């Protein structure tokens, strides 16, 4: 069993202080202004919102360490990308600092080895590394180092209204860029059972099936008057890798009766007879005749326009 530093947050605070001259202070007023942290380099002070969950606090401090300690490397990667606007460059810097934070908390080789040994049991990985459910899921979706690849996952984070706030894919799964997501996807059903892990075998219109797990990851309110953000995450892989996941235990993943037919979203979904369709697909001719009526008031005709 690996020995994981259970006081990584205090260690990161010491690095900020000793290497960068930055002291860390908890601030009660930051959440009221919508801020989680604020760095004052002139004063040598990092303000962190109080009452943050420990994994979130650790990630934010690690993010700042990335900005301060890896600034040149991050700048070089951003320059190499050739982005056209300063806004895009700034977002890239944030993304790379976030990746550094995830790698610092969940080191690639140790984390990948533990994930395989524990059959990708997310809750056990949380305890082993002192991370949150979302942090573990997101890190699992990044383990594609050439020659040392983990299970290829796709990852998604959505709010209760269906807005997608994070997405990435190392699989053949393609996310819809516009419009709503498929309501049959278990990431949306997760809000009905907060904190419970849902397992689903889902098949896309191209015939590829995936093992998907979803769970809410909303934070506690903190006070009666606060309005915490309600979100859920989904992690999925192709069925060829299902036997390496604990979530396939006791599930006949190859039984078509347990497979849920999902799509990328109504605007791009090819399924003509879906009872859950909310809008017609783009580029398909419709029959809107009055001689018959299905679940929706039109039939999708074969082919394009």
Q: For domain 1-105, give the CATH number.
A: 1.10.10.2910
Q: What is the pLDDT of residues 230-265, one digit of tens each?
A: 899 999 999 999 999 999 998 888 888 889 999 888
Residue 239's alpha-carbon distances to 146, 243, 259, in angstroms, are: 22, 8, 11
CA distance 171 to 63: 27
20: number of Cβ within 10 Å: 17
264: number of Cβ within 10 Å: 20
User: Could you say which architecture CATH assigns to the domain 151-271?
Assistant: 2-Layer Sandwich (3.30)
For the chain, the domains span: 1-105, 151-271, 275-305
Q: What is the pLDDT of residues 153-207, one digit of tens each?
A: 999 999 998 888 898 999 988 776 666 678 899 999 999 999 999 999 999 988 9
Does the pLDDT value for residue 303 go beyond 60? yes
Q: What is the side-by-side order of every strand in the sheet holding 37-40?
A: 23-27, 45-49, 37-40
Q: If we measure between CA atoms, which residue out of 161, 110, 154, 155 comes closest to residue 8?
A: 110
């Amino acid at each position: 069993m690996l020995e994981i530093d259970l006081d990584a947050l205090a260690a990161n605070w010491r690095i900020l202080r000793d290497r960068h001259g930055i002291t860390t202070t908890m601030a009660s007023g930051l959440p009221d202004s919508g801020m989680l942290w604020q760095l004052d380099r002139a004063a040598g002070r990092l303000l962190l919102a109080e009452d943050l969950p420990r994994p979130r606090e650790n990630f934010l401090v690690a993010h700042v360490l990335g900005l301060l300690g890896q600034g040149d490397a991050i700048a070089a990667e951003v320059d190499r990308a050739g982005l056209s606007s300063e806004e895009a460059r700034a977002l890239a810097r944030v993304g790379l600092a976030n990746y550094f934070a995830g790698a610092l908390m969940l080191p690639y080789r140790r984390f990948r080895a533990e994930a395989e040994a524990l059959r990708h049991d997310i809750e056990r990985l949380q305890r082993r590394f002192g991370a949150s459910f979302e942090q573990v899921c997101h890190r699992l979706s990044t383990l594609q180092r050439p020659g040392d690849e983990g299970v290829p996952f796709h990852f998604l984070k959505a709010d209760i209204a269906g807005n997608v706030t994070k997405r990435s894919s190392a699989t053949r799964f393609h996310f819809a860029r516009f419009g709503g997501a498929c309501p049959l996807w278990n990431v949306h059903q997760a809000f009905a059972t907060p904190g419970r892990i849902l397992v689903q075998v889902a098949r896309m219109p191209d015939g590829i099936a995936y093992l998907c797990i979803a769970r809410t990851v909303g934070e506690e309110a903190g006070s009666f008057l606060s309005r915490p953000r309600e979100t859920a995450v989904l992690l999925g892989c192709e069925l060829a890798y299902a036997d390496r996941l604990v979530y396939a235990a006791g599930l006949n993943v190859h039984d078509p009766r347990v497979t849920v037919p999902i799509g990328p979203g109504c605007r791009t979904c090819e399924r003509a007879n879906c009872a859950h369709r909310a809008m017609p697909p783009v580029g398909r001719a419709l029959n809107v005749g009055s001689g018959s009526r299905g679940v929706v008031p039109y039939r999708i005709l074969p082919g394009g326009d």
